Amino acid sequence: MDTITASPSNPTAVPTDLHHLLQRITGDEKHSPAAHSTLDVLWVLYDRILRIDPRHPDDPNRDRFLLSKGHGPAAYYAVLAAKGFFAPDWLDDFAAFESPLGHHPDRQLVPGVELSSGSLGHGLPIGVGVALALRARRSEARVFVLVGDGELDEGSNHEAIAVAGRWGLGNLTAIVIDNQSSSLRWPGGLAARFEVEGWTGRSVDGRDHDRIEQALSVRPPGHPNVVVMEVEPR
Amino acid sequence: MTTLAPPSMRARFTETTTTLLDIDRRIVVLTADIGAAGFAEARRRHPDRVVNVGIREQLLVGAAAGFAMEGFRPIVHSYAPFLVERPYEQIKLDLGHQGVGAILVSTGASFDASAEGRTHQAPADVAIVSALPDWEIYTPGHADELDEILRRSARHTRNVYIRMSSESNVAPRSTVGIEVVRRTEPGQPAVLAIGPALDPTLEATTGLDVGVLYSSSVKPFDGAGLRGAVRGTSLVVVEPFLEATTAGLVNEALADRAMRYTYLGVQDRELRHYGTPLEHQRAHGLDAVSLRNRITLAARS
């Protein structure tokens, strides 16, 4: 299966071919803002960060990526198709009865999808479990969980943030897409909510591929890592 | 005559689980403070596989699911309301919908914590877990049954809910299917007792012309066993949880027979009394004296 890689002429932009895949899902000119908020981050993850081989999606040594913010998954499906996890023609009957690709991803139906998501606030607690399990097995694999700033309203996240920080889960990285969806906002900033529990945190421009890569490459020993990706307000 | 109190399920749970941790590296135990002290010694031996997350039940189930995704076999323990009711969506999604399995073991049952009040009581736990697909549900009536069910569950990867209770029968029984405790004659009514409801049922039916059946397993439910054992047209079910929790399973097993069913379980109301478990049994008509009257009435009509 052909896979899409970054364009040599413009390596810091999402390749045109990926946009074409995305359009096969959404139809021309119709874009869900939630899908777009994650596009650059997902692309950089799969193109530069995650050690995952689409030919061996169950490799025990692979990095784990859990998309907790499962609504608006078009960008996710497009990136997975671009990287060869499934054939691009799967994108054409998005959310049809027989389609494996629905409005919320199902790990039982889609190769490469690690988490069935949709209901908010489930990915980070599960990610803590995965990180603990990998630690118990002395695995070097990393666990990335992508959440939204609105999703962090759910209290279950804060159970996970406290425990991951206190136990120093250095193999865990939380990626927060901040498009200012949280109705009541986060005074003091999102990263601070993690840092007070012992995480290392930073905020970067969620459209700047090099900065995204740089932030996600950091693996501070003994501390979980949070990267807040600032994108346009919803 | 002195009767030895039956061994505590809760103590046996800690013992058996500790043994499983020692012999099987896939086993991981997760607690949310409740019951954690019992695993302090095991935690020293297996620091990565004995996990106490503090008072965080959503994380408790979510983290168990994460372990299960990585091929571990989680045993998750708390008080029934905090294990099953509070993180119900985590049970539905993080385990069931992800397609991974854990063993949830609760303590407290319907009103073991009679003096604690409604907050610590979960009469509907079995009913709500029953509403989720593909769960096995056991209500052991004795510590030996618990031990057998737990060891068996540790060997597979399905979702299992085990409901322990401080109410216990004097003798252990089968953990698989329907056991005939007292044979019925053709035409006689039968009484099916679930888990710890057996001993009060046996006491209540002494001298009555009724058969007595036992099951510690709610799901899978031994419909074929029930069909073989029921020889009359009246069946009384005594269940230690919300009344009529098993009605669908029982009716399905005997769907082609003209039967009269009576379900005797915990009533669906706010009792707003403290006191002892026996007083709660009386309030719900589940003590031996009340049961005798109710079973006699059901069997006569």
Q: Which residues of A touch B54 (CB under 8 A)?
A: 162-163
Contact B56 A129 (CB under 8 A): no
Provide ipTM, 2 decimals. Answer: 0.96
pLDDT for position B133: 98
Helix (H) or strand (E) holding B277: helix B277-283
Taking the Cβ of residue A132 and every Cβ of chain B, the question of whether any pair is shorter than 8 Å is answered with yes
Task: Give, in words, the CATH class of A16-230.
Answer: alpha beta
Q: Which residues of A touch B51 (CB under 8 A)?
A: 132
Q: Which residues of A touch B99 (CB under 8 A)?
A: 107-108, 116
Domain positions in chain A: 16-230
Which of A129, A135, A137 is closest, CB to CB, to B64?
A: A129
Domain positions in chain B: 9-163, 179-300
pLDDT for position B6: 85
The pLDDT of B269-286, averaged and rounded, is 97
Spatial separation of the C-alpha atoms in residues A129 and B61, rounded to whole Å = 9
pLDDT for position B212: 98
What are the tokens at A72? 């608006």
pLDDT at B7 over 70: yes
For B202-238, write each residue's pLDDT tens digit: 999 999 999 999 999 999 999 999 999 999 999 999 9
**Which residues 6+ apart lie within 8 Å of A137 measured at CB?**
B70
pLDDT for position A5: 86
pLDDT per residue of chain A (234 residues) written in tens, 0 to 9: 578 888 887 888 899 999 999 999 988 655 555 557 899 999 999 999 999 999 999 999 999 999 999 888 999 999 999 999 999 999 999 999 999 999 999 999 999 999 999 999 999 999 999 999 999 999 999 999 999 999 999 999 999 999 999 999 999 999 999 999 999 999 889 999 999 999 999 999 999 999 999 999 998 889 999 999 999 998
* Mean pLDDT over the full length of chain B: 97
Taking the Cβ of residue A113 and every Cβ of chain B, the question of whether any pair is shorter than 8 Å is answered with no
pLDDT for position B2: 54
For B52-89, write each residue's pLDDT tens digit: 999 999 999 999 999 999 999 999 999 999 999 999 99
Which of B68, B71, B98 is closest, CB to CB, to A116?
A: B98
Which is more confident, B1 or A104? A104
Closest to B237 in 3D by CA, of B255, B220, B249: B249
pLDDT for position A216: 98
pLDDT for position A6: 85
CB crowding B44-63: b at 16 or more within 10 Å, else e: eebeebbbbbeebbbbbbbb
Q: Which residues of B touch A129 (CB under 8 A)?
A: 62-70
Which CATH number is correct for B9-163, 3.20.20.140, 3.40.50.970, 3.40.630.10, 3.40.1350.10? 3.40.50.970
Spatial separation of the C-alpha atoms in residues A181 and A210, rounded to whole Å = 25
Other Cβ atoms less than 10 A from the Cβ of A128: the count is 30
Pairing of strands B27-31, B179-182: unpaired
Asked, colleague to colleague, whether B9-163 and B179-300 share their fold, the answer is yes
The size of the A-B interface in CB pairs under 8 A is 91
Share of chain B above pLDDT 90, in %: 96
Looking at the domain that runs over B179-300, which CATH code has it been given?
A: 3.40.50.920
CB crowding A204-224: b at 16 or more within 10 Å, else e: bebbbbebbbebbeeeeeebb
For B113-162, write each residue's pLDDT tens digit: 999 999 999 999 999 999 999 999 999 999 999 999 999 999 999 999 99
pLDDT for position A10: 81
pLDDT for position A148: 96
pLDDT for position B3: 60
Length of chain B, in residues: 301
